[in-house]
């Protein structure tokens, strides 16, 4: 199974958003990764519905929307309405996780769960069959450009074996500090979706960086 690459739009140039969206369209990337932050669940604020709507207007690939917000259940339908194709919510951010995932499915999107760096994958055992994807944070969420945390490899392996034991095809996505040095090791451990922000957008040739990650 070929792995997917999801450039993180948080690292794009917001003064040239259309240009950067078209770059992703013309690259080997599979999805647009969109980080939504509320300043409460994580100590940063990113963007909301109007920006996602603008990205959707230009994007020719699915929008993978990662909600780093408290009580995400309040906004699921709105994110679906502005163009989200996949919506992931943090295990730590919603009390009734099963209900929130059902809400995402009912809004016509694929549903996933995100785990913070120190949340053990064992908490997912019962909810895995409902998940299109699990996103493992490989940094502490809130800011781009952070260093990848090595603890992630062990978590990926453990999660992949849980998924296999249940006979599922759940995707494992990694977000935070992904680059050319750790991408192959992550895929070998069992990840199949890689999010990269600064590594792509801050490079001189973003299309080449995406292609390199895709062909690892």
Domains and CATH numbers, the chain: 4-214 (3.20.20.70)
Active-site annotation holds for 35: yes
Each residue's pLDDT tens digit, 190-213: 999 999 999 999 999 999 999 999
The per-residue pLDDT for 43 is 87
Is residue 146 predicted with pLDDT exceeding 90?
no
Is residue 145 predicted with pLDDT exceeding 80?
no
CB-based burial label for 6 (10 Å; 0-12, 13-18, 19+):
buried
Q: Active site residue: 35, 38, 64, 192, which one? A: 35
The per-residue pLDDT for 1 is 55
The per-residue pLDDT for 77 is 98
Q: Predicted confidence band at 22 (pLDDT cuts at 50, 70, 90)?
A: very high
| Predicted TM-score of the model (pTM) | 0.97
Active-site annotation holds for 188: no
Q: Active site residue: 30, 64, 175, 192, which one? A: 175
- Percent of all residues in the chain with a pLDDT value above 90, rounded to a whole number: 93
Each residue's pLDDT tens digit, 115-136: 999 999 999 999 999 999 999 9
Segment 4-19 shows an average pLDDT of 96
Each residue's pLDDT tens digit, 67-114: 999 999 999 999 999 999 999 999 999 999 999 999 999 999 999 999
């Amino acid at each position: 199974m070929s792995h997917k690459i999801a450039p993180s739009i948080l690292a794009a140039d917001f003064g040239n958003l259309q240009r950067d969206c078209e770059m992703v369209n013309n690259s080997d990337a599979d999805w647009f990764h969109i980080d939504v932050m509320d300043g409460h669940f994580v100590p940063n604020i990113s963007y909301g519905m109007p920006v996602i709507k603008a990205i959707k207007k230009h994007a020719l690939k699915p929008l993978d929307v990662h909600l780093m917000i408290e009580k995400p259940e309040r906004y699921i339908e709105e994110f679906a309405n502005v163009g989200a194709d996949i919506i992931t919510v943090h295990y730590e951010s919603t009390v009734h996780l099963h209900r929130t995932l059902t809400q995402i499915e009912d809004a016509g999107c694929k549903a996933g769960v995100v785990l913070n760096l120190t949340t053990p994958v064992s908490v997912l055992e019962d909810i895995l069959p409902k998940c299109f994807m699990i996103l493992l944070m490989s940094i502490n969420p809130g800011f781009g450009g952070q260093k990848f945390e090595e603890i992630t490899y062990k978590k990926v392996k453990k999660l992949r074996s849980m998924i296999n034991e249940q006979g599922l095809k759940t995707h494992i996505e990694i977000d935070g500090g992904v680059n050319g040095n750790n991408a192959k090791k992550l895929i070998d451990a069992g990840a199949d979706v890689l999010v990269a922000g600064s590594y792509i957008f801050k490079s001189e040739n973003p299309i080449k960086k995406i292609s390199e990650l895709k062909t690892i």
